[in-house]
Amino acid sequence: MSVDLEAYYSDAMWDRAVERGWLEPVADLAGLLSTNLLNQMAAGGTNPFSELEEGDALRLQQKFGDRGKRQASRAIGRMRQVEAERELENFRPVIEKLRAHLFPAPAAAE
């Protein structure tokens, strides 16, 4: 499943995006579900989205539109460094994985 990096924004940024109309609905929610889950739902099973916490459901059912991405970027750019680092903290594990992949540590000499 592909994930927009904006999913890593803080709840506060997502709340701001809701308030300011920066989000748009995800066009293909069924694409997020496996065939097995879709079959279970068709047979009367529970909707997996209904069991999610509000913030998690929002991140799956909505996405930042192009305008919203620009506005969020501007909002982060206006933050003080400490605030911006707090906002982007959830990106750190992704950055570390990319760094390790792109720049692997040299093998230790025996």
- Confidence grade of residue 108 (pLDDT, cut at 50, 70, 90): low
| CA–CA gap between residue 5 and residue 20 (Å, rounded) | 19
More reliable by pLDDT, 93 or 35: 93
Q: What is the mean pLDDT of residues 27-56?
A: 76
Cβ contacts of residue 8 below 8 Å, gap of 6+?
88, 90, 91, 94
Question: In the predicted model, is pLDDT for residue 77 greater than 70?
Answer: yes
How many other C-beta atoms can be found within 10 angstroms of the C-beta atom of residue 77? Answer: 8
| CA–CA gap between residue 69 and residue 17 (Å, rounded) | 9
Tell me the per-residue pLDDT of 45-63, one tens digit each, with 9 for 90 and over: 777 777 778 888 888 889 9
